[in-house]
Amino acid sequence: MQRLPNYILKLSIIIAVILTASGVSAKITVDAQVDRTRIQSGESLELSVTIENSNGQVDISSIKDFKVVSQTSHSTINFINGQTSQKIIYVYTLEPLIKSGKAIIPRLRVKSNGKTYQSEPIEILVNKVSAKTKPSKDLDVWITAKVSNSTPFTGQQIIYTFTLYNSVQIHEAKFSPPEFLGFEATEFKKTNAYKKIIKGREHIVTELNYVLIPKKTGALVIEPSSFNFGILDLMKNRDRSGRSLPDFLMDPFFNPRKMTKHTIRTLALNLTVKPLPEYTGHGGFSGLVGKFELKTDVETSNLKVGDSTTLSVTLKGQGNIIDAGEPDFKLPDAFKIYEDNPEEKISLDRTGYSGYKIFRKALVPVKQGSYEIRPVSLTYFDITEKAYKKLTSQPIILQVAPSQTAQAAPPRLSSQVSASRKQKVDFTGRDILPPKEELEAVQSQNRLSLFLFILLLASPLPLLAGLLIFQRLTRNDTRPAILMKNKARKALKAAINTIDQQNEMLAHLYQAVNAAIFSIANRSGEALTWKEARELLTQCGQPPQIAQQASDLLSRVESAKFSAAELSDHERKALTEDVRRLFKELLP
């Protein structure tokens, strides 16, 4: 006997449920439960509100002691002794707004059929986080946080690194960084992800980095970071006797997986920010802290009266260069001076800010003679030598010869844009004639004969007949391999179309890679771990290098999907192209 296609079986079950449930009137109840009643500050808990025999909505506006981080819902239908009962379960992830003490989940109201139903209140005990608690490396998922220097000077940039280690597949991940009170914080968008063997297990390691510049002195605390995530129970493909389950029972519709929510936190970090030593030098302190170089240059040193040259001062180095202001220029009175906008190129990486700024001035001599441009100086605090250091450029000599015109015309600067001459445009009306001047272009066309009219009317019929024949020959194939193959290609196309929207693109790529692997195994499914993907492809006879390539690519997409880092345009295109190449290997 031929097995019914999955979608027909699903549809039959849904219709049977609707027909059986119709006409049944049962008692409406509302029940609220939590996964635990004792948590630490910063951790989250899961609140489940079950509404039985009603499709009402839960009013959570009365929750004041918690922040609602996320919410999901699902429904179930049960048949017991010929009676049908329906349940809608709303699941909320809550984070306490207090550091310690009692927090209350109040009565939650549900309106249905003109009546109001409510749950019982729940009391949660919130404990303060112990500073001695250390993350365990024996867990499947754990996190750490560290700084590159715990005793920086004020104004000195340091690096805060959050690291996630996971040896299992995680879902609905959310990283909550601290507020960095007392610091100027900038996130380095590029994520560093790699694999590492820890205690005999392979982990995916994901690093997020922030550049911190302390603005206060004394003892400062970086509060713990928190990480919320879910772990799906693995879908079993065998029954208790060890026999393989039918493909349609592997579909998430019939075999839903429960997600367990978790919240983990890093330790708080204690820093001591030292004040800069008292500055006793001459010329003033620039406020720069780091390591810098200074040089001056002139476009040409031999001029005539009325000519122009450009004086450039370049400041280069690593540190808070973004705060650098224009140095003090001391220029002769025999020159007219024209300002130019500074040029800068400052990059941010895992070591902090680095780059250069170029300050320019255009000089036009108005008198002949020999003139000296006095050295430009700048004082910064050198973090290597832990002392103030004064940078001084070399003096520049300009020789100015007489000129017959002797006019000091302002030079054209790089930042100036000459105004284009505007031309008056008269609107003479919209031209509706075709771009052809002969009279034939606007002559009337000959009338269509009856024979040609009938021929044109009947011309689509062969095309329609051919389309029907093609559709009959290519009826949908319901085999899991074909269904998952089509799903994979559709997801890849959607990823390409949403490449400018990172979250959507990564979700489609993640779905595409998983569906392609399931297609090779002729199975239906939604998600695999990178280890499951490698083993499944190997069992299906794929070469080891292809199985490893698919496993690594799934790991990369997963890491990018669940981290908070922003990918560059080049990185998004490269990731999409790698998935496309994998498709050529797996789905020719």
Whole-number pLDDT of residue 523:
83
The 8-class DSSP code of residue 498 comes to T
Q: Mind listing the pLDDT tens digit for each residue in 363-374?
A: 989 889 999 999
Q: Mind listing the pLDDT tens digit for each residue in 276-302?
A: 999 988 878 999 999 999 999 999 999
Cα gap 153→385, rounded to integer Å: 12
Whole-number pLDDT of residue 211:
93
Range from 93-97, 145-149, 173-177, 444-448 carrying the lowest mean pLDDT: 444-448
**What is the arithmetic mean of pLDDT over 157-167?**
93
Whole-number pLDDT of residue 275:
94
Range from 47-51, 83-87, 192-196, 335-339 carrying the lowest mean pLDDT: 83-87
Whole-number pLDDT of residue 437:
39
Give percent of the chain with pLDDT exceeding 90: 27
Residue tagged 């003490």 (tokens)? 101
The CATH 2.60.40.10 domain(s) of the chain lie at: 23-127
Give yes or no for residue 464 having a pLDDT over 60: yes
Give all strands of the β-sheet with 109-112 in edge-to-edge order: 58-59, 109-112, 115-118
Whole-number pLDDT of residue 432:
33
Q: What angle do CA 50, 51, 56 make, to 5 degrees?
A: 135
The third-level CATH classification (topology) of the domain covering 289-401 is Immunoglobulin-like (2.60.40)
Give yes or no for residue 337 having a pLDDT over 60: yes
Q: How many residues does the chain have?
A: 588
Distances (CA, A) of 315 to 13, 156, 341, 355, 412: 73, 18, 15, 9, 24
Sign, CA torsion 149/150/154/160: positive
Whole-number pLDDT of residue 218:
94
The CATH 1.20.120 domain(s) of the chain lie at: 480-586
- List residues bridging with 147 in a β-sheet: 160
Q: What angle do CA 51, 232, 124 make, to 5 degrees?
A: 50
Question: Which secondary structure element, helix H or strand E, spans residue 308, and what is its range?
Answer: none
Nearest to 66 by CA among 29, 116, 121: 121
Q: Mind listing the pLDDT tens digit for each residue in 225-253?
A: 888 888 876 545 445 555 555 555 555 55
Question: Are the CB atoms for 148 and 209 separated by under 8 Å?
Answer: no
Distances (CA, A) of 512 to 255, 374, 576: 21, 65, 10
**What is the arithmetic mean of pLDDT over 309-320?**
92
Q: Mind listing the pLDDT tens digit for each residue in 116-149?
A: 999 999 999 988 765 444 455 556 889 999 999 9
Give yes or no for residue 95 having a pLDDT over 90: no
Give yes or no for residue 256 having a pLDDT over 80: no
The third-level CATH classification (topology) of the domain covering 480-586 is Four Helix Bundle (Hemerythrin (Met), subunit A) (1.20.120)
The third-level CATH classification (topology) of the domain covering 23-127 is Immunoglobulin-like (2.60.40)
Q: Give the architecture-level CATH label for domain 141-235+245-273.
A: Sandwich (2.60)
pTM of the model: 0.53
Q: How many CB atoms lie within 10 A of CB 353?
A: 20
The per-residue DSSP string of 229-267 comes to EEEEPPPP-B-TTSPBPPGGGGSTTTS--PEEEEEEEPP
Question: Are the CB atoms for 255 and 247 separated by under 8 Å?
Answer: no
Which residues contact residue 64 at a Cβ distance below 8 angstroms, ignoring those fewer than 6 apart?
97, 106
**Better pLDDT: 17 or 94:** 94
Q: Mind listing the pLDDT tens digit for each residue in 70-83?
A: 788 888 777 666 66
Whole-number pLDDT of residue 431:
37
**What is the arithmetic mean of pLDDT over 262-285?**
89
